[in-house]
Chains A and B, each alone.
Chain A
Amino acid sequence: MKALKQTVATLFFLSLLAIPLLLKPYHTTEVSDIDRNKAIERFGFFFEDATNSAGVDFVHIAPELDSKLNNIMPQIASMGAGVAVADFDNDGWNDFYLTNSGSDSKNALYRNLGDGTFEDVAEKTGVASLNEKGASMGAVWGDFDNDGFEDLLVYKWGKSELFRNNGGSDFKRVDNAGLPEKANINTAIWLDFDRDGKLDIFLGGYFREDIDLWNLKDTKIMPDSFEYATNGGRNYLLRNRGDGTFEDATEESGLTPRAWTLAAASADLNNDAYPDLFVSNDYGVSELYINDAGKRFIDISEKSGVGFSPKSGMNASFGDVLNDGNLSIYESNIYEEGNLLQGNNLWMPGGKGDSKEPVFQNMANGFGVENGGWSWAAQFGDLNNDGHQDLFVVNGYVSADKGSSYWYDFATVTGGNESIISDARNWADMEGRSLSGYQNSRVWLNDGNGRFTDAAPALGVNDKDDGRAVAMVDLFNRGVLDVIVASQKAPTRIYKANVTGDRSWIAFELKPKENRSPVGTRVLVRWKGAVQVQEVNGGSGYCSQNQRRLHFGLGSAKAVESIEIRWPDGSRKEIRNPEMKKLHIISQ
């Protein structure tokens, strides 16, 4: 009897050991092994790498920093490839700006020629040579002077720069705009936080602002903890005075924590018509601020559920993934099998959407969008016009020697006490090794029922560049979303979407009154029992900005019941039965 019981216990034990093997197939969302034709048939679209045919030949160059950091230079100089989309000359075709970072490198402004090709006009418009002092990290377009033309903010390690758009012909640097003289900024967004009709700026600092990365006093520049760091750069909220200058409203707004901010995005999350703010921090927890009627921001990070579980936040973007009229937040982190399984966050709203203080729950696991890799920018958009917002995520940190990894040394020092981890001298020499390099992007396709499937390779997204920024944009005015991917030390790629079958769509270009920026405008589209919300934002993702237009895929819908527009000033407009397969230009 004893032997029998022992045998049963042993079988129980063995069955426990077998469970991981049985569950493994359920822990992959990738369908890279399916045939390309089957993928097209199943998902209704594919990507074509149109980089060359579009005439885009941009290659990012990393910044060269103080040689005291040579041991970990590939890590430190691992950011700077950004992309921002706008129709800067108002010719009806989307253009895009790319940031470079090497001291001799030039940023690029690709003007859409309307024939499927682009021309780099950065040099002749005056926004190319910005990296002699400092290094560009990204850029965002925003019409801060309400003249109807998108102006350009280039944020940098060093002094960020603001350029006024001169009627779509060229740009003029705005001197003494009130931007910080010196800071290490890794994210910036435009938002009209006080709803006075003038766009304000949020800047997120990464390294402390007193650190000159080209002339270091010492090497104590690293985070004082891998997940609980308190020594990051300060953030800035700059209020637009309306005279071409900005005043520092950070203290009074309450945006004072010193986290290592890498991404921020703004949208109205509690339906009070004021823009709220989500901040994604490396080496720490995320922050969520609710706008208190334009007077200040109230920190509800912990109350809302997003302020626990410190990870390596690198992205902030919004999407209505269930077509229920509520915005979710997607935040990228690190997922390295066997080493560090933070997982990306999909913050789904819970409770009442109109609650003053919304509550979120991380549902990335259940929706299948958790395991990205070492993830950076992510954007929502309906890539196949099936009526559901998909998710494009780029991955990869440092792609160097393919045969060796820096993970052991990375894990060793990140386990150390403040005095060890915070000094770059204590970080082992990378010696050309990779750190989570050569990773695929994820093209997560939304089935509309709470499940995403990654089909990137099968759909034609095969590059293994160290992706940083992503922008979704209808580059060729075809009623589909193409994708621009900017990668570190690699070419920028244009993924042209080819949607098969007869799927419908509708898009909106929004023009608030008095030439105001459309940032903050919200559109709700109702069709076939679905209701999808999107909001024009002033930058989202990581060092990225999507097109200004709002694009809604409609699948097989025969008609759109109605659209509801809420303008930045809170007023609303409803349009019934708008025409489909059309870009609607709507003025307030």
Chain B
Amino acid sequence: MSAVATETSTNEPKVSSGYEPRTKSAPPKVFGIDPRLIMPLLITIILLVGQLFYGILESYVMTLTAIGSAIAVELLLSRFLTGKFSFPASAYISGISVGILTRSPFLWPFALCAAISIASKYVLRLGGRHIWNPSNFGICMMLLLAPYAFSTLSIQWGNNLYAMVIIWTLGSIIIYRLKRFHIIATYVPLFVLSAAIVTYWHGNSFLTNVSPITGPMYQLFIFFMITDPMTTVRKSKWAQSFVVFLIVAAETIFRINENIHAPYYALFIVGPIANVVEVAWDRRRGGE
């Protein structure tokens, strides 16, 4: 999520705070569009499709609050810690993600979840990078600390196949052009396998256990969390795919234990461990 925008910041003036990613080359352009804007555009399209086909937004105020809070914290912390305002595309993505995924009758969880998400990027760092996907971290913290006022999107928006086809097609093309399609290609079959395992364990319908992947929560999870360049390992496609395997394994355990928020918690645990291992590995090799 945030990473795409951050990774593409090579054309911007360098800041020397250690908060910039360690990328060696700019990511590929997609459809000739400034690569920093690709993921913001994708999530905006998902938001618009959801709103136009289903009217998903319970309140524009809530979504705007999440976006505003994310951008404000991004600007505040980047200025405070680096002396410069960072390009807020990643915060915009986090804000929309939080705005869509948060289910709460209150306004403050939207603002707080977005703020925690962005702040985590600047605080929970190792080896010059943040190790948790920001919105995944924010959502998990809210689920753990404020279950009385915070839950996540878990239901189907609706059954308009066109909308689902648009989101999946566009999302897949963009992720492919960003050279991260292998992550999706690994996750989706493994999820189906996971559903089979959960079905065997619980003895219920296979379709039931597959059904969540047809919903919007998983679309956001797949396109903006597990494919996040900044918080996935960078070694190789195989390494990234192996981490995805571990995420699905953890998710399977959560689902067998009937945890409704299984994918969030699985990524919350596996993602940073994989990053820490990679950083340690890099340091060790650097030391040699």
Contacts and interface: CB of A to CB of B under 8 A. Distances in A.
B147 interface: yes
A228 B104 contact: no
A5 B155 CA distance: 41
Contact of B151 (A339, A405, A425): A339
A31 to B, nearest CB: 16
Interface in B191-237: 202-205, 207-212, 214-215, 217
A309 B204 CA distance: 31
By DSSP majority rule, is chain A's interface helix, strand, loop, or mixed? helix
Contact of B204 (A20, A24, A405, A409): A409
A338 B149 CA distance: 8
A6 B207 contact: no
A388 B211 CA distance: 47
Contacts of A415: 154-156, 211-212, 214-215, 217
Contacts of B157: 225, 227-228
A420 B213 CA distance: 12
Interface residues of A, number: 54
Contacts of B214: 415-417, 420
B150 interface: yes
Contact of A20 (B105, B149, B159, B211): B149
B89 interface: no
A412 B211 contact: yes
Interface stretch (B36-44, B91-99, B117-125, B274-282): B117-125
A559 interface: no
A411 B58 contact: no
Contacts of A227: 155-157
Contacts of B151: 338-341
A20 B143 contact: no
B208 A428 contact: yes
A260 to B, nearest CB: 14
A413 B116 contact: no
Contact of B105 (A16, A28, A343, A409): A343
B154 A340 contact: yes
Interface stretch (A7-15, A241-249, A461-469): A7-15
A411 B145 CA distance: 21
B149 to A, nearest CB: 6
Contacts of A308: 55, 58
A411 B154 contact: yes
A411 B159 CA distance: 17
A413 B105 contact: no
Nearest to A365: B105
Nearest to B215: A415
A429 B204 contact: yes
Nearest to A344: B105
Interface string A539-551: 0000000000000
Interface in B47-61: 54-55, 58-59
A19 interface: yes
B85 interface: no
A436 to B, nearest CB: 13
A418 interface: yes
Contacts of B182: none
A424 to B, nearest CB: 10
Given A9-B122, A415-B217, A27 B103 contact: no
A426 B59 CA distance: 32
B1 interface: no
Given A16-B116, A337-B148, A364-B105, A412 B80 contact: no
Given A428-B204, A429-B204, A341 B146 contact: no
Interface residues of B, number: 54
A226 B158 CA distance: 8
Contacts of B202: 409, 428
A408 B202 CA distance: 12
B108 interface: yes
Given A27-B148, A420-B207, A426-B207, A20 B112 contact: yes
B166 interface: no
A429 B106 CA distance: 34
A559 B79 CA distance: 65
Contact of B260 (A12, A339, A425): A339
Interface string B106-132: 101000100110011011000000000
Contacts of A24: 146, 148
A17 B156 CA distance: 30
A412 B142 CA distance: 21
A428 B208 CA distance: 7
A302 B156 CA distance: 21
B77 interface: yes
Given A340-B151, A341-B103, A365-B106, A20 B146 contact: yes
Interface in A4-54: 5-6, 8-10, 12-13, 16-17, 19-21, 23-24, 27-28
A202 B64 CA distance: 40
A426 B120 contact: no
A350 to B, nearest CB: 15
Given A343-B105, A408-B258, A411-B154, A416 B80 contact: no
Contacts of B169: none
A426 B123 contact: no
A506 interface: no
Contacts of A340: 103, 151, 154
Interface string A333-360: 0000111111100000000000000000
A417 B157 CA distance: 9
Contacts of B141: 17
Contacts of A95: none
A408 B212 CA distance: 12
A2 B15 CA distance: 13
A416 B206 CA distance: 12
A407 interface: yes
A416 B112 contact: no
Contact of A421 (B115, B149, B156, B260): B156
Contact of A10 (B58, B106, B108, B123): B123
B23 interface: no
A2 B217 CA distance: 38
B260 A426 contact: no
Given A20-B149, A341-B151, A420-B210, 20 more contacts: A2-B17, A9-B122, A13-B120, A20-B112, A23-B108, A27-B149, A225-B155, A228-B158, A228-B159, A337-B148, A339-B151, A405-B258, A409-B258, A414-B154, A417-B214, A418-B156, A418-B159, A421-B156, A421-B211, A426-B208
Closest 7 CB pairs of A and B: A416-B211, A408-B258, A20-B146, A343-B105, A338-B147, A418-B159, A428-B204
8 contacts: A9-B77, A12-B119, A19-B112, A24-B148, A225-B157, A228-B156, A340-B154, A417-B211
Interface of A: 2, 5-6, 8-10, 12-13, 16-17, 19-21, 23-24, 27-28, 224-228, 308-309, 337-343, 364-365, 370, 405, 407-409, 411-421, 425-429
